[in-house]
Copies of this chain bind each other. A is one copy, B any other.
Amino acid sequence: MTDQPAFEQVRPVRLYERIVEQVEAAIANGELVPGQHLPSERELVAQFGTSRATVREALRVLESNGLVRSRPGDPNGPEVLPFTARGLSKQLRRLARAEELTLAQLLVSRMMLDATANRLAAVLRTAEQLADMEAAIDGMRVALDLGYDAFGEADLAFHEAVAAASGNTMIQVSNEVVRDTVLSVISDRIAHARNSKALMRRSLEHHEQVLDAIRSGDGPEAARASLQSLYDYYAGYVPAVERRALRALLDPAPPTGAG
């Protein structure tokens, strides 16, 4: 059964990469816990048997990925950081800028994430989480007269309350990151339309629909309403050809009808 040797392609693996791998592995499997400290640079030099420059290159990479932080003069050595979504956010933004991710793609992702979070929240929410959502909606209602900044803040609070109630960290974090990325991509274009009170009122109505559905435990309706809300709010910024993808998420009815 010895088919063929099946050699793998080899590429030169730098010393600093091996150090990165070892530290990453140690963090991944729990040997190193956030708050703990790595040995000092010179100690690492001894342990890895390389020069200080090499160790430092590895530390810089780990640092830029948000895994550790080293400060000058700290005798404790580089600190292992708790997880943040900063690296994920950075990569997404990069992807968006490279125009591998169009606004339409980002919005599709956002609709998917938000709709699913709402659907889950309708079933899984606790009374306390429901109260958080209601408080956020109240905040939006009050903020109608305070301008978009306050309104946007309350809006954000609602979506985060829903995401938390979904009980799914993956969806929660992804949604957060995608939401930020969407805003960073079109914030300039959307700025002039923001203060339209009519838009805010409409948005509020949509959110109230979603909340009603969640309150009554109707997941599909919560999902439907949130999809419609996002579509109405953002579709105008998407080129017409790409709007097909957004619409594909909307109607549960097959498109066998008239055009």
- Give chain A's interface residues, CB within 8 Å of chain B: 12, 16-17, 20, 28, 53, 56-58, 60-61, 64-65, 72, 83, 85, 87-88, 90-92, 94-101, 105-106, 108-109, 112-113, 116, 119-120, 122-124, 167-171, 173-174, 178, 217-221, 244-245, 248-249, 251-256
Q: Does the CB pair B101–A248 fall under 8 Å?
A: no
- 6 pairs from A and B in contact (CB 8 Å cutoff): A108-B168, A112-B112, A112-B113, A124-B248, A218-B255, A252-B252
Q: Does the CB pair B169–A99 fall under 8 Å?
A: yes
- The number of times this chain is found in the oligomer is 2
Q: Does the CB pair B101–A94 fall under 8 Å?
A: no
Q: Which residues of the other chain, B, contact A105 by a CB distance below 8 angstroms?
A: 167-170
Q: Does the CB pair B56–A252 fall under 8 Å?
A: no
Cα(A85)–Cα(B91), bound, Å = 8
Query: Besides A124-B244, A220-B253, A220-B254, 6 other CB < 8 A contacts?
Result: A83-B95, A88-B95, A123-B255, A167-B245, A217-B254, A218-B254
A53 touches which of B53, B97, B173 (Cβ 8 Å): B53
Q: Which residues of the other chain, B, contact A254 by a CB distance below 8 angstroms?
A: 217-221
Q: Determine the main DSSP class of A at the interface with B.
A: helix
Q: Does the CB pair A91–B95 fall under 8 Å?
A: no
Q: Does the CB pair B171–A109 fall under 8 Å?
A: yes
Q: Does the CB pair A245–B100 fall under 8 Å?
A: no
Cα(A119)–Cα(B171), bound, Å = 19
Cα(A103)–Cα(B86), bound, Å = 21
Cα(A168)–Cα(B102), bound, Å = 9
With A61-B64, A245-B167 already in contact, the answer to whether A116 and B112 are too (CB < 8 A) is yes
| Chain B residue at minimal CB-CB distance from A178 | B170
Cα(A97)–Cα(B254), bound, Å = 38
| Chain B residue at minimal CB-CB distance from A224 | B252
With A60-B61, A168-B105, A170-B178 already in contact, the answer to whether A244 and B123 are too (CB < 8 A) is yes
Q: Which residues of the other chain, B, contact A178 by a CB distance below 8 angstroms?
A: 170
Cα(A113)–Cα(B178), bound, Å = 14
Smallest Cβ distance from A98 to chain B, in angstroms? 4
With A88-B91, A95-B83, A120-B245 already in contact, the answer to whether A100 and B60 are too (CB < 8 A) is no
Q: Which residues of the other chain, B, contact A221 by a CB distance below 8 angstroms?
A: 254
Smallest Cβ distance from A46 to chain B, in angstroms? 19
| Chain B residue at minimal CB-CB distance from A83 | B98
With A16-B60, A56-B57, A170-B95 already in contact, the answer to whether A248 and B109 are too (CB < 8 A) is no
